[in-house]
Amino acid sequence: MRTESIKQSEISKSWFLVDAKDKPLGRLASSIAQLLRGKGKPFFTPHMNMGDFVVVINAEKVAVSGKKESDKQYWSHSGFPGGTKEVSLEKLRNTHPERIVANAVKGMLPHNRLGRQIFKQLKVYRGSEHPHEAQQPQVFDLEK
């Protein structure tokens, strides 16, 4: 017997629409990461971009538990001494709520070239409107 490896030309990508309203952030992010990687497909290959495109709407209404709204901090560093910037989840929700979901999903993807390539297939929007109607995305239900 031989192990068959799928070719890049044989991969079919579809579009999924995920509504983030009142969904827990971690569970939402892990489901989206699995869709982006293509782990639910029967011919999953870890070293290839097998995943689908995911459109997330209502990112501003994602749920977090406990005191994360005020206590959770996102930080970045410019590379210069004293170049650390911190912003709370509460402030990020008011300014750029799509970054909350994007950061959570990005942390669950591989931290290499493949992960950066896969991350480009994620589209996150603040409200319920999105410009991807032409792709006819399938509604993805997280409860299933």
Question: To which CATH superfamily is domain 13-65+97-130 assigned?
Answer: Ribosomal protein L13 (3.90.1180.10)
CB-based contact 21:61 (threshold 8 Å): yes
Give the other-Cβ count within 10 Å of 144's Cβ. 5
Angle of helix 98-106 versus helix 25-37 axis, rounded to 10: 60
Half-sphere exposure of 26 (CA within 13 A, CB side): 3
Say what the pLDDT of residue 144 is.
Answer: 75
Say what the pLDDT of residue 51 is.
Answer: 95
What one-character-per-residue DSSP string does 58-85 give? -GGG-B--TTHHHH-EEEEE-SSTT-EE
Say what the pLDDT of residue 3 is.
Answer: 83
**What's the angle, vertex CA 78, arms to CA 103 and CA 117, rounded to 5?**
40
Q: Which residues in 91-115 are b (16+ Cβ under 10 Å) and which e?
A: ebbeeebbbbbbebbbebbeeeeeb
Say what the pLDDT of residue 143 is.
Answer: 83
pLDDT block averages, 10 residues each, the chain of length 144: 87 96 97 96 92 97 95 96 96 96 98 98 97 96 84
Closest C-alpha among 25, 13, 7 to residue 107: 25
Say what the pLDDT of residue 127 is.
Answer: 95
| pLDDT mean across residues, the chain | 95
